[in-house]
Amino acid sequence: MSHLLEVRNLVTTFRNEGKEFNAIEGVSLHVDRGEIVGIVGESGSGKSVTMLSSLQLIASPGRVAGGEVYLEGIEQNLLSFGSDSEQMRQIRGGRISMIFQEPMTSLNPVLTVGYQIQENVLLHTDLSQEEAKKRTIEAMKMVNIPDAETRYDYYPQQFSGGMRQRIMIAMAMAPNPDILIADEATTALDVTTQAQLLEMIRRIAKETNTAVIMITHNLGLVARYAERIYVMYGGHMMETADCKSIFHETRHPYTRALLRAIPRLDDPKDRILIPIDGLPPVPSQRPDYCPFYARCEYRCDRCLQHTDAAMKEVLPGHWSSCCLTEEELAAREEELQHKDYGASPERKQSDKLCLDVKDVRKYFPVYKGLLRKKVGEVKAIEDITFFVRQGETLGVVGESGCGKTTLARCIMRMYEPDEGQIIFDGEDVAHRKDNELKAFRPKISMIFQDPFSSLDPRQNAESIVGESLLIHKLVKDRGEYAQRVDDLFRKVGMDPALKDRVAHEFSGGQRQRIGIARALSSNPRMIICDEPISALDVSIQAQIINLLENIQAETGISYIFIAHDLAVVKHISDRILVMYLGRVMEIASCDELYENPLHPYTQALLSAIPVPDPVTEEGREAITIQGEVPSILKRPTGCPFHNRCPQCTELCKKETPALHETRDGHMVACHQY
């Protein structure tokens, strides 16, 4: 056998309503020692199911119906072993380890992290208890967990999200596996933590000669870390090649469509994102021909006769399942370059201020003991000052826990700030009583991160969108109400005929459109978008971003756009505010911040965002932040970033820098300037 792991013609079926259908159909892939391989594609494309099938982890009503899986040193097909057999139990966790997306649900909260890692070592090695504990502490040190001997006895809830994911990596690596599968392992983490962990995984892989399989929808991550890439769609393998070929000699229309849909950090500000129209096929309704046909801009009649989904070598080491020749793809590409996708909408931005926030602080009391005695305060946000003009988009970025959502809730007056002013349309609403805020409520709306949990599962789409019209008495009668709801559906690109459906009957993108329609229903002057696209696929993200920009151009509304993906923030924002540990670090216009970041934290944030282009990635300077974000209960003295800053001085440790202007509109809180 020439490869460490080889999967051949894998077929996985699921049963639904008495019928079986193929979720994975004829998938083949391989990985070699020390190699980092990426598997990319939209949600539902079959990435995770492929690897779970290879390990015989598919639960009923699913089953692996065909194919072969071979692992170096084992002559027998792994699928011939029983899923509960001793052989498979030794392979899973011993020779092939897997890290999952959410570390908190993967760790047992009632067992110490040391016990959980050591248990995995004892299961898959012949080491004694004492030797297993030693190996466990070595694994914790390998993933840069400080004071590993003491933290061996800590519980998962005593660690941050990034640290918990490090523990998952330590658990996976402790038995010295041959292959590490990272299934969206860093998706839920901040960009800086994500960069730290992936750099660490790459270092460990090269030091130990471990193969890594990265399952992700983030093309920037595979451009930075992967050596070869597999592109999946609709349960089929669409294209595979080395990393540079995938990005610069793309041969499958689906891969090209993915690359056109994602915003890049090095994009010009006015670049149009081209979303992939439609939705991926439901496995039970997948056609016999190319599964991407219905959404493909390159399609022709011959695609309908092309029922052989097997990939063919189009260049040395470059395989594609598309039936079109290179000449046909090039000719169609030429036509598409002249296709009118529309221009960036012209927005009506005014010099008039919509929102002016001055010195806002919000503290939360900390209680302890049986009598709930107050023992301290959590300083969630401190001395926040900024403004938003009418028709402008202000991007707010920063790591988890920096106070972005607390700030949004203060502006919405869900929280009353302890100090400061929130001047909206010329009136200070910071300390008004609830009954004095009735006129303010309809003027400002919010779009939430999760498009499912933010919609009432018992209400239909019409009542969700129209509820605000009734609460704020914005319509005269039922006829006007129905007309307004229909208009709102059309405004967000949805058919009003769908308004009787409930939330679970919509896709993720449609649910987010309903959330946007709800936010628009009260004719607000401002919408706060709190991570509105982070839960969506890249193709749907492009649709939502374009929709928000078109609505702003049409209505002149202002946005505060909260996100951790700086490439998205750059694309949609006019100015950007950078937060860290409850304070503003830097504010500047979009182009100025990306071309000339002043604060060391901003520089590190930008460096952590991967660009979906391996050639560009090779030429970028990497700035890594060491350590974790401190607890907000133990905020450092002086500059909150000083304990992680490579340019820290003694002054930084003692004195908190004030936010001040360094040039026209560019403000920074750093002693260097």
Mean pLDDT of the chain: 89
Q: What is the pLDDT of residue 310?
A: 77
Integer Cα distance of 512 and 540 in angstroms: 10
Integer Cα distance of 576 and 61 in angstroms: 48
Q: What is the pLDDT of residue 668?
A: 95
CB 503 within 8 A of CB 456: yes
pLDDT in tens, 231-290: 999 899 999 999 999 999 999 999 999 999 888 888 887 788 888 888 788 777 888 888
Q: How many residues does the chain have?
A: 673
pLDDT in tens, 592-613: 999 999 999 999 989 888 889 9
pLDDT in tens, 383-414: 999 999 999 999 999 887 788 989 999 999 99
Confidence check: pLDDT of 501 > 70: yes
Task: Categorize the per-residue pLDDT at 1 as very low, low, confident or very high, splitting at 50, 70 and 90.
Answer: low
pTM of the model: 0.89
Q: What is the pLDDT of residue 239?
A: 96
* Lowest-confidence pick of 58-72, 179-193, 380-394: 179-193
Of 345, 379, 381, give the one whose Cα is nearest residue 365: 379
Q: Which residues, in sequence order, are CB contacts of 531 under 8 Å at separation 6+?
A: 448, 449, 562, 563, 564
Say what the alpha-carbon torsion angle 412, 415, 419, 422 is, to the nearest 10 degrees: 10
What is the spatial order of strands in the sheet that 444-447 belongs to? 444-447, 526-530, 558-562, 393-397, 575-580, 583-589, 666-668, 660-663
pLDDT in tens, 472-499: 999 999 999 999 999 999 999 889 999 9
Q: What is the pLDDT of residue 427?
A: 93
CATH code of 353-668, in short, is 3.40.50.300
CB 202 within 8 A of CB 225: yes
Q: What is the pLDDT of residue 343?
A: 62
E strand spans, 548-623: 558-562, 575-580, 583-589
Place of tokens 């439609």: 278
Integer Cα distance of 508 and 485 in angstroms: 20
pLDDT in tens, 426-437: 999 999 998 899
> How many Cβ atoms are within 10 Å of 264's Cβ, its own excluded?
21
Max mean pLDDT range (67-81, 265-279, 302-316, 358-372): 67-81
> How many Cβ atoms are within 10 Å of 84's Cβ, its own excluded?
8
